[in-house]
Amino acid sequence: MEVITRELVDLNLEATSVKEVVLSLGERIESIGRLSNFDGYIDSVMEREELTSTGIGFGIAIPHGKSEHVTSCTVAFARLTSPIEWESLDEQPVKIVFLLAVPEACKGDEHLKIIAALSRKLIHEDFRQQLETLEDEQELVEMINETLANAITK
Amino acid sequence: MKLAAVTACPSGVAHTYLAAESLEVAAKKNNVEIKVETQGSIGIENELTPEWIKEVDAIILTNNIGIKNEERFKGKPIVRISAGDCINKADAIIKKLMEKLG
């Protein structure tokens, strides 16, 4: 099963807060049937966010929730129409968001490997630029799936 | 010049790998050989070998959280830098080390 699909991509998300972004992307994950309990999943993401911000710098955030309410490992992507405050490491507002949904029973450290693989890739300016500019959703999906393939098959 | 680094962060895993990748990219750009060990929530990856540690001119350690097995670096010049600085200022860090170590 693909970790990210076209339905999980929003290239024009209008939001004014972290919660709004998480809710909107969470709805996309729910819409393709990968959540058994929407509220339960959203709570797990917001609880994680309260521990420390998942704003990793470069205008990017990777909020995530590992929860019994998730049925399969999923990544949703959003480009925000206007950047929002995320208490990021470099204090820059966020414009690119990856929301991760990981089942409790997920074998091993799958979600950690996804974050690790994404993080490494995000250092590269050309990758970030594509995230910010690609207009074709399918192209974006394929690029992200390719990036994560190595991390997940292990 | 040859370098080794170990990156870790107290929360989550993102910064461990952002810092590692950033150092690797900056080193490559400056023709410096570097091997970076990550101590993330997944565990230790790309563990530094004793042979490499022996060869390097300096060791970079992130200082946000204790580094495991630090005793292996005894006698080596150690530079302690936050993971955040490794991410955002890797190029300057590598250049400064080149200046100091030749």
At B87 the pLDDT is 92
pLDDT at A113: 84
Please indicate, yes or no, if residue A119 is contained in any of the structural domains: yes
| Closest in A89, A109, A120 to B17, CB measured | A120
Is A147 part of a structural domain of the chain?
yes
pLDDT of residue A154: 47
Q: What is the pLDDT of residue A108?
A: 67
**CA distance between the termini of chain A:** 15
Cα–Cα distances in Å, from A115 out to A33, A112, B14, B40, B97? 22, 5, 6, 11, 30
Contact of A124 with chain B, judged by CB distance below 8 Å, is answered with yes
CA of A123 vs chain B CAs: smallest distance (Å) = 6
Query: Taking CB atoms and an 8 Å cutoff, what residues of chain B touch A122?
Result: 18
Average pLDDT over residues B91-100: 96
Nearest-CA neighbor of A64 among B83, A73, A30, A16? Answer: A73
Domain of A146, in residue numbers: 6-153
Tell me what ipTM this predicted complex has. 0.86
Examine residue A1 and state whether it is found in any structural domain, yes or no.
Answer: no
Percentage of chain A with pLDDT > 90? 69
Q: Look at B22 and A123 and tell me if their CB atoms are within 8 Å.
A: yes
The beta-carbon neighbor of A115 closest among B14, B87, B88 is: B14
Mean per-residue pLDDT, B8-19: 83
In chain B, the number of structural domains is 1
- pLDDT at residue A106 greater than cutoff 70: no
A45: domain CATH number?
3.40.930.10
Quickly state the pLDDT bin for A20 (edges 50, 70, 90): very high
B17 to A116: CB separation less than 8 angstroms, yes or no: yes
Q: How many domains does chain A have?
A: 1
Beta carbons of A116 and B11 less than 8 Å apart: no
Q: Give the CATH number of the domain where residue B43 resides.
A: 3.40.50.2300
User: Can you tell me the mean pLDDT for B16-38?
Assistant: 96
pTM above 0.80, yes or no: yes
Q: Has residue B12 got a pLDDT over 60?
A: no
Domain contains A133: yes
**Which residue range forms the structural domain that includes residue B94?**
2-101
Query: Is the model's pLDDT at A100 over the cut of 70?
Result: yes
- Which long-range contacts link B66-71 to residues 24+ away (Cβ below 8 Å)? B66/B8, B67/B6, B67/B8, B67/B39, B68/B8, B68/B39, B68/B44
Reported confidence tier of residue A18, pLDDT bands at 50, 70, 90: very high
Active site residues of A: 64
Residue, of B95 and A73, whose pLDDT is higher: B95
Residue A111 scores a pLDDT above 70: yes
Structure tokens at B6: 């170990």
Q: Where are the beta strands (DSSP E) in A14-138?
A: 55-57, 60-61, 64-67, 74-84, 94-103
Q: Which residue has the higher pLDDT, A147 or B16?
A: B16
Q: Amino acid letter at B72?
A: R
Is the minimum CB–CB distance between A16 and chain B shorter than 8 Å? Answer: no
What pLDDT is attached to residue A107?
A: 62
When pLDDT is averaged across residues A107-134 and rounded to a whole number, the result is: 87
Rounded mean pLDDT of chain A? 91
